[in-house]
Amino acid sequence: MTHDPYVADDARYASMPYARSGRSGLLLPRISLGLWQNFGGHHPLDNQRAILLAAFDMGITHYDLANNYGPPPGSAEANFGGFLARDLKPYRDELIISTKAGYHMWPGPYGDWGSRKYILGSLDQSLRRMGLDYVDVFYHHRPDPDTPIEESMMALDQAVRSGKALYAGISNYGPAETEEAARILRELGTPLLIHQFRYSMYERTPEDGLLDALDAVGAGSIVFSPLAQGMLTDRYLHGIPDGSRITHSQFLHENQVTETYLERTRALDAIAKERGQTLAQLALQWVLRGGRVTSALVGASSVSQLRANVEALSFPDLTDEEVAAIEPHAVHGTYYV
């Protein structure tokens, strides 16, 4: 794979809006690029490179990874590290690179969950895979019911104090756990920067206390699956296309395309069309409404898909009347079976 040397677009900061993460000094693009899917060992490298570089040219400075992203686990970090070395290294100080530890990564009792040994060992592995001295944000990916939260937070604090991470984050923590994690980190001297959680029109659990907790502790928020892994697009409104994610994903199933799902999604699609946008663009604007969410993570399988998602930011903000019209159809659990 040979390419001409990459030179970033001079206009890359012309249109992307940025928001402050909680009470920190860090600004994040309102749309960030997630490498959860489409960047592993089974995806064409040329396409991965095109998406990553196009993202930066659009002002997306934040690339979100985790130790287990792939498949196979670790391959997204390794691939990203290659593109970083070849193309993005001159721009390292313009990038926010995040990774996480918390899910299974290697055999034995030290390769999963939330022990100090696992979290810090995983960070070292992630840095080696990406060829980095540090990441900008390091998350504990999920709470560990069997490890004291103090131990997991002390590991994040050590990661920051060692210079291997600039900021500490958590992911998939509930409201009470979030408040406790933030308290411990604050006492250690490493404030909680951000919480990453699932949120969409069809996944509204964060409204039951989590967003309030983040406001209270002064942490930012970044949401994953704002499009409900494609269920908040028009992809399944006229049947299930061959090769679409729902036909092969371990997280989605064809029986989730119920009549209730179709009725609500068609209604939301009609609201989007009235605004002259796609349902995906409406869904992104909805999670970003009101300024309570710092950034929305999107995945992308093509540059055109990424560009269409970013174009959501060019539409007028949702009015109170539009939010009210959306509400009857934005029902938690719509695509769950």
Tens digit of each residue's pLDDT (9 = 90 or more) over 165-178: 999 999 999 999 99
Residue linked to tokens 């903000």: 317
Distance of alpha carbon 175 from the chain centroid:
19
Q: What percent of the chain has pLDDT over 70?
A: 95
Read off the pLDDT band of 230 (50, 70, 90): confident
Q: Residue 160 corresponds to which amino acid?
A: V
Q: How far apart are CA 184 and CA 154, in angstroms?
A: 8
Q: What percent of the chain has pLDDT over 90?
A: 88
pLDDT in tens, 138-167: 999 999 999 999 999 999 999 999 999 999
pLDDT at 122: 98
Angle between helices 175-188 and 210-217 (to 10 degrees): 20
Question: What are the φ and ψ backbone dihedral angles of 171, each rounded to 5 degrees?
Answer: -145, 140
Q: How far apart are CA 77 and CA 35, in angstroms?
A: 9
pLDDT at 235: 85
Residue linked to tokens 């100090």: 116
Closest CA to 168 of 203, 226, 110, 217: 217
What tokens were used for 58?
Answer: 């659009």
What tokens were used for 91?
Answer: 């721009």
Q: Answer whether residue 337 shows pLDDT above 80.
A: no
Q: What angle do CA 110, 114, 116 make, to 5 degrees?
A: 70
pLDDT in tens, 244-298: 555 455 555 667 778 899 999 999 999 999 999 999 999 999 999 999 999 999 9
Give the CATH number of domain 18-230+280-318. Answer: 3.20.20.100
Read off the pLDDT band of 40 (50, 70, 90): very high
Mean pLDDT of 93-108: 98
Q: Which residues contact 180 (CB under 8 A, 6 or more apart)?
A: 149
Closest CA to 37 of 233, 301, 228: 301
pLDDT at 153: 98
Say if strands 18-20 and 27-29 run parallel, antiparallel, or are unpaired: antiparallel
Cβ proximity of 18 and 29 under 8 Å: yes
Whole-prediction pTM: 0.94
pLDDT in tens, 309-333: 999 999 999 999 999 999 999 999 9
Mean pLDDT of 29-41: 95
Cis ω on the peptide bond leading into residue 71 (within 30° of 0)?
A: yes
Cβ proximity of 232 and 264 under 8 Å: no
Q: How far apart are CA 76 and CA 66, in angstroms?
A: 8
